[in-house]
Amino acid sequence: MQNLTAPELAAWLAEPAPARGRPVLLDVREDWEFQTCALPGSLHMPMGSVPQRAAEVDEDAPVICICHHGMRSLHVAGFLERQGFTDVYNLTGGVDAWARQVDPQMPVY
């Protein structure tokens, strides 16, 4: 697993044809958090549902795990690696860092 900062992810998503491929943005926050704010195109899968729903995530794509501050996503990223996913990232600082460093229009909570 690798760590990725919000500006690094923003740069990756801005690439027209990323060499690393288009990532799956796996948002593992709870429903109310996801409804408050989310990165566009995110796949919402609350942390507690990941063991049952992991098959919904494309194993061949890079997976960026996202939560509020980066702790839950760190645990999910480790879980996915143990399940055989090989290209997994944790968004350090989570959506909070995204809102503060990339998109100041995004609500914070």
* Residue 65 is a catalytic residue: no
User: Domains in the chain: how many in total?
Assistant: 1
- Tokens coding 34: 């996801």
Regions of the chain with pLDDT less than 50: none
Output the domain CATH number for residue 85: 3.40.250.10
Task: Exactly one of 24, 39, 45, 67 is catalytic; name it.
Answer: 67
| pLDDT, position 19 | 86
The pTM assigned to this predicted structure is 0.96
CA 41 to mean position of chain CA atoms: 10
Instruction: Tell whether 18 is covered by a domain.
Output: yes
| pLDDT, position 18 | 85
The residue assigned the tokens 């609350």 is 46
H or E stretch covering 34:
helix 31-36
Instruction: Tell whether 107 is covered by a domain.
Output: no
The sign of the CA dihedral 33, 9, 75, 84 is positive
